[in-house]
Amino acid sequence: MSASISDPLTFYYSEADVVAAQRSRFKSAPQVKIIFGFGFLVAVLLLIFEYTVGIPRAVQVEPWLAPAGIAGTFLGVLLLVYFVAPVIDFRFNPAWKNEFQFQFDPEFIYYTHSTAGTIFRVRWEHISRIVENKRVYVLFVGSPLTFLILPKSAFPSVSVESEFRTRLASSKHET
């Protein structure tokens, strides 16, 4: 008997899956681009201000030092959020270590968290956006804060994953 898309996909998340999903979410978030652009703009404006008007100081420093320090701090925080936060999230959030299950029918995606015993039911057409990388699918349901992570390793065969992709393509969403 061969596997089909209607069979439950039961799995545990690996650290690599969760980290890949969280980093993909971060990179694809429009808010990050806005924040990064704003930080760059502030650094440039501060640099222009430093060279044109100058800021009186008790200690004389190079005029580029303050904008560089602010830009460096800003970039450092973004890098920490991208590289460190997903790892910490997986290692310290016990929910990631539980068994999960996806099941698909023509109308719904069912996502079950075994320990909590909760079933999250989503209509295919309610998937608002999909982010995919080599390890996972991240399915956004309405808001950027509501998402499901489906590891590609959970699919028992290429044909089941292909059928999943076909269903995703037939539902309306942005990629």
Give tens-digit pLDDT for 9-60: 999 999 999 999 999 999 888 887 787 788 778 777 777 777 677 666 656 6
Domains held by the chain: number:
2
- pTM of this prediction? 0.81
Question: Is the alpha carbon torsion for 95, 125, 102, 11 positive or negative?
Answer: negative
Q: Take residue 30 and report the two structure tokens written for it.
A: 């429009």
> Phi, psi at residue 108, to the nearest 5°?
-130, 160
Give tens-digit pLDDT for 101-150: 999 999 999 999 877 677 889 999 999 999 999 999 999 998 888 999 99
Give the residue from 33, 62, 90 where a domain finishes: 90
> Do 118 and 149 sit in the same domain of this protein?
yes
Residue 103, Cβ density class (10 Å: 0-12 exposed, 13-18 middle, ≥19 buried)? middle
Give the residue-averaged pLDDT of 58-71.
70
> Do 86 and 140 sit in the same domain of this protein?
no
Q: Which domain holds residue 34?
A: 24-90
Report the candidate in 6, 51, 21, 1 with the shortest Cα–Cα distance to residue 153: 21
> Phi, psi at residue 138, to the nearest 5°?
-110, 115
